[in-house]
Amino acid sequence: MLTVYRKYRAKNFSQIIGQDHVVSVLKQAVHDGKISHAYLFSGPRGTGKTSMARILAKAVNCLELKDGEPCNKCHNCKAINKGNFLDLIEIDAASNRGIDEIRELKNNVGFLPVEGKHKVYIIDEVHMLTEPAFNALLKTIEEPPQKVLFILATTEPQKIPLTIISRTQRFDFKLADENALLKKLKKIIESEKRTIAPAALEIIVKAGRGSFRDAETVLEKVISGLNFEQEIAQGDVENILGLASQDLVKSFIELLLKGDREKSFEILARVEEGGVNLSYFIKEILEEVRLQMMSEIKTAGNSENIKKYLKIVKEFNTASIEMRTSLIPILSIEVAITNLTLDKPITRSSGLKEKPIVKMVEKVKDEFVEPISNMPKQEKQSNNNVNQDAEKQVAVLNEHWKSILNAAKKYNHFLTAILAKVQLEADLDAGVIVFKVGSTFHKKRLESKETRKILSGLFIENCGFDVDYKCVIEVAKGKDKEDKSNSKLVEEFFS
């Protein structure tokens, strides 16, 4: 089966799209019979260098030439199109055979054409030739035999000796612009009797990045995966390319601008589940942000919005760099989302050193938990942030203590009973929270590994942060009796 790229390869000059500057000069030269001995076609891959070389080979051999265009009908044109024209020799310098073929070239170049008017050598990826091969080629080009035409093609002209370049007529092939790609793709879709949604076509054009070959390869993959009657939809192309849908990217950016962390994470989860390539995802975010930012700058110019866009660009640029070396690539995006939905970003190098989640959650709390009401008056002013944190935490814990007790019931009721007796206090010097308990047994229970684990979960669940606590025994006056009965119950349960 022919690939789309080969099947729809241009067969004459007028079918070549996007290289008008080359086409007009070559066509004129053929028309006037003023052909050079050697041409150099340089330019990125997929820009039509080899197609152009074959058309030129046909043009100089065509028996029914019209206005510099090959007819594609005469014996020579047909033979070249079929690939069995004896006087067209194509050499791939990148292949192992390249050197042997150049040696052969040197021996055979002097013989006259067998069936055509000109013997044509197309040397693809010519920059790959070895030094001896270049020397051999140079000698031939310096004193070109009659009726021989060399067409050298390369993606890296800087690797070709100047002595060679100076003996050729050079043409630089440009990357195709979007209009040219669009024109070509539309033509192929029409010939294949397919239909495509405009948005889907636009994505293929973008994915081609100026290369006909790349764009056509994508189109071919999409077509081969679909039924004949089916219209090619945006989603089909996105699937093939492993892209996140454009709508998804747009809503993701909208959420980031709003600072909606939860929903941003939801979208990220969907992206990951969908098997979307995360680097692509970042690239698409950056492309979309760039578009939105530019239109903001051009129109309203709201500086607040522009600042937000710049922040997104900065975070996702960092994420894309970090992702390459990260053991958990998605983490880089998660950090970017977290930073973008916080007022005070986390410094990645220092902030993640210890207890990253706790630190992150605490930051989140700082930003988003409403101002604490009934906050106990501070006895002494302290500039120590850690101490102040402990005091704030006590206030928040007190506020949520009832729901913590309730939630503890699902682990066991006696834990609830113990917790019900606990008095909270911030130890400002140590920067920890003190649980004042009624007995050694309670202290032991609360400080056990298992209970710490349970409480840690309950604290995060109810207050949004974990707590570093220690237990101190302090028997409340006048409540001894009650406490004893309670601890007895508890002891019985655990024994």
Residues lying near Zn ion in the complex (CB under 5 A)? 62, 64, 70-71, 74, 77
Closest separation between CB of residue 62 and Zn ion, Å?
3
Closest separation between CB of residue 67 and Zn ion, Å?
13
User: Nearer Cβ to Zn ion, position 35 or 74?
Assistant: 74
Closest separation between CB of residue 171 and Zn ion, Å?
23
Residue found under tokens 């080979």: 57
User: Nearer Cβ to Zn ion, position 71 or 375?
Assistant: 71
Closest separation between CB of residue 58 and Zn ion, Å?
6
User: Nearer Cβ to Zn ion, position 71 or 199?
Assistant: 71
Closest separation between CB of residue 30 and Zn ion, Å?
12
Q: How many Å apart are CA 454 and CA 467, to the nearest integer?
A: 12
User: Nearer Cβ to Zn ion, position 70 or 210?
Assistant: 70
Burial of 107 (0-12, 13-18, 19+ CB in 10 A): exposed
Closest separation between CB of residue 37 and Zn ion, Å?
22
Alpha carbon distances (Å) from 138 to 125, 132, 145, 151: 16, 10, 13, 13
Closest separation between CB of residue 60 and Zn ion, Å?
10
Distance from first CA to last CA of the chain, Å, rounded? 78
User: Nearer Cβ to Zn ion, position 114 or 328?
Assistant: 114
User: Nearer Cβ to Zn ion, position 72 or 277?
Assistant: 72
User: Nearer Cβ to Zn ion, position 64 or 190?
Assistant: 64
- Cα within 13 Å of Cα(79), Cβ side: 17
Closest separation between CB of residue 225 and Zn ion, Å?
38
User: Nearer Cβ to Zn ion, position 64 or 474?
Assistant: 64
